[in-house]
Amino acid sequence: MQLPEEQLDNIIDLALAEDISHGDITSETLIPPELQGKASIVIKAKGIIAGSEVARRVFLKVDPSLKVEVLIKDGAKVQPGDIVATISGRVISILKAERTALNFLQRLSGIGSQTAQCIAKTQGLKANITDTRKTTPGLK
């Protein structure tokens, strides 16, 4: 299911407000504001990727000048060491967005990976895998 862009943006705004409501004091104190850098999102466990576009939007919401390249699209099988995305630009902006982006990516990929395992276990059976009403608020 695809969320409408406006609804997704609202969820991202809420997540960012929760995560960095008081700013990133450590980064703002220790890192020069214009320092440029590059980061990669690297897979630690095999599974199914989900949420790469959400993660991209988180980075761009924090700083539209960041360059975010998604290398692995949602639904793809991934292995440890695979690089999902690269982000380049202001280091402070990358650090400000990374925890929220990773939280979405990890949660959504975990759901996608578990769902794929359930589907595989029911192959050949008269069973359907469906969603549940027990969801995280705003993420159904």
Residues with a known catalytic role: 134
User: Is-contact 74 54, C-beta < 8 A?
Assistant: no
DSSP H helices in 20-90: 25-30, 52-62
Query: Cα separation of 34 and 63, whole Å?
Result: 12
Q: What angle do CA 33, 38, 43 make, to 5 degrees?
A: 130
- CA–CA separation, 102 vs 13, rounded Å? 15
The distance between the two most distant Cα atoms of the chain, rounded to a whole number of Å, is 59
